[in-house]
Each structure stands twice: as structure tokens, then as C-alpha cells.
């Protein structure tokens, strides 16, 4: 788990989707590591609870789909406490179901939060990072960035897109002193996953025991100290899924068994 930062290593970290789940775990571990946190979310009560738990953190209401709101939040945060050093694009939604049964509105929401929200964050902070010739963008994706998942067509599509976007941005600015990290966790115990469990949707993600949010948060906080281009959690499973994702035919042949095992895990 993350060790406390030295004073020289202290970063101002803005994390989206911070009111609960992975985002809240990131905020807790960042504070423990000595970093300064700007926690943003659309969930006002959740942010209030987090601020009570972590006195001294900065919070702001932000709908990541709103580019103008991004500008206001970043300007206010930097005016109040100084430049943002690290942007963690963590906010996301998952609205599962067969691709022909998920509503067009739900698909649009998934794309706007999971992909456009990431783009909005990068579009807002990148000019500031470039002007200072330093900064770190950490985009939280999923193992779904490598391998499609039944009942999660739009979600998988956005995570594939976030991976491509992150690495393309890194290539655009490969000569700048800016770090780019893509983080791809397996299933994590979050309110999002609990919703899938209740709906018995996307059951293949339950073939492995979901990890606690603190595990993925710890990997993210570690990469603030030691930047890496791509972080898979857990590493072994991530490498396997990344390889299997190269062969769509194999995915199709093995999916019935995977769904069966997922349903059995849910019934245990």
C-alpha cells in the first residue's frame, strides 16, 4: 500500500467520482500518503460525507459531462490551493443489459460520462500542464478495455475508447514532461458492481472474486509516486484478458461457460 509522501513529493490531486467507491478510496489513500485532494462528484451528499471523514480536503460539485463546469472547478481549485499536479479521471457509470434492450438515453449517458467526461477533464487541465511542462493524467478504465463483455456493450466500448484516447494523447505530447497512465482493474466491490449483482447482468465479471476498492486505489496512488503507462490490477489476470481479447472467436466459444460460472458465483 502507499507510503507517505515526502514534502517534495506532495501533489495536488483532483479525482472525479470521489463521493464513493474507488474515488473515495483514492481520496483516503492520497490523504494518507500526504497528498492534497480536490474531490469532485455530482453527488453532493456523498461529498459532504467524505469531507466529514477527511477534514481539510477540498470538494466541488462537478458533472463531468459539462465542459464549462470543468473550467470553473479547475480555475477555482487552482486559485484556492495552487496548481493541480495530477488529474484522476475516475467517474463512470455502468448501465447493463443486452445491447438491443438498453435504451438510447442510457447508451448516451454511458458515453458522455465514461468517455466525454474523460476528454473534458483532459481538455481542461492539459493546457495548464503544458504551460508548466509537468503534470500527470491518470484515466481509470477497466479490463473491459481489452475484452468485450456480454450485457456491457456500451460500457465496454467506452473503456476501449478511453484506452485508445489515453495512449493517443500520450503520443501527441510524447516530448512534454507529462505522464499518462491508464489503469485497468478487474471487478471491484463498488456500488456500480452491486447494481449489476442485483440485476444479474454482466455475470461474467463475477467469475473471479471482486477486489476491494482499496486495492485498485492503492495501485493508483502508487503510480502517482512512480508513473507507469498502463497499470493492470491484478496484473496476471489483466495480462491474460489483454491476450484473450485479441481473439474474438475464442471469447465467443468460451462465453457460455463463463456466464454459467458467474451465475454460480452469484448464487453462492
Residues with catalytic function: 155
Evaluate the CA torsion angle 95, 144, 70, 80 in order and state its sign. positive
With contact defined as beta carbons under 8 Å apart, do 214 and 171 qualify?
no
Radius of gyration of the chain measured on its C-alpha atoms: 18
Q: What angle do CA 20, 42, 180 make, to 5 degrees?
A: 75
Helix, strand, coil percentages in the chain from 3-state DSSP, rounded to 5: 55, 15, 30
Query: For residue 236, what is its C-alpha cell?
Result: 496476471
With contact defined as beta carbons under 8 Å apart, do 57 and 77 qualify?
no
Burial of 245 (0-12, 13-18, 19+ CB in 10 A): middle
Q: List the helix and strand counts (H, then E) for the chain.
A: 10, 7
Amino acid at each position: 500500500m502507499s507510503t507517505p509522501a515526502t514534502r517534495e513529493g506532495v501533489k495536488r490531486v483532483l479525482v472525479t467520482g470521489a463521493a464513493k467507491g474507488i474515488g473515495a478510496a483514492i481520496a483516503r489513500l492520497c490523504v494518507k500518503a500526504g497528498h492534497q485532494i480536490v474531490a469532485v462528484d455530482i453527488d453532493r451528499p456523498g461529498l459532504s460525507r467524505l469531507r466529514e471523514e477527511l477534514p481539510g480536503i477540498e470538494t466541488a460539485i462537478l458533472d463531468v459531462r459539462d465542459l464549462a463546469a470543468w473550467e470553473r472547478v479547475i480555475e477555482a481549485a487552482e486559485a484556492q490551493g495552487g496548481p493541480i499536479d495530477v488529474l484522476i479521471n475516475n467517474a463512470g457509470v455502468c448501465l447493463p443489459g443486452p445491447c438491443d434492450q438498453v435504451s438510447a438515453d442510457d447508451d448516451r449517458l454511458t458515453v458522455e460520462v465514461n468517455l466525454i467526461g474523460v476528454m473534458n477533464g483532459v481538455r481542461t487541465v492539459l493546457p495548464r500542464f503544458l504551460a508548466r511542462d509537468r503534470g500527470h493524467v491518470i484515466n481509470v478504465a477497466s479490463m473491459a478495455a481489452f475484452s468485450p463483455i456480454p450485457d456491457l456493450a456500451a460500457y465496454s466500448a467506452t473503456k476501449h475508447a478511453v484506452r485508445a484516447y489515453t495512449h493517443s494523447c500520450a503520443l501527441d505530447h510524447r516530448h512534454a514532461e507529462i505522464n499518462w497512465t491508464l489503469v485497468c482493474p478487474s471487478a471491484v466491490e463498488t456500488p456500480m458492481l452491486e447494481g449489476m449483482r442485483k440485476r444479474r447482468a454482466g455475470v461474467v465479471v463475477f467469475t473471479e472474486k471482486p477486489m476491494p476498492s482499496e486495492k485498485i486505489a492503492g495501485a493508483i496512488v502508487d503510480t502517482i509516486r512512480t508513473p507507469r503507462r498502463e497499470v493492470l490490477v491484478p496484473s496476471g489476470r489483466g495480462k491474460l484478458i489483454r491476450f484473450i481479447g485479441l481473439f474474438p472467436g475464442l471469447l465467443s466459444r468460451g462465453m457460455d461457460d463463463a456466464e454459467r460460472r458467474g451465475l454460480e458465483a452469484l448464487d453462492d
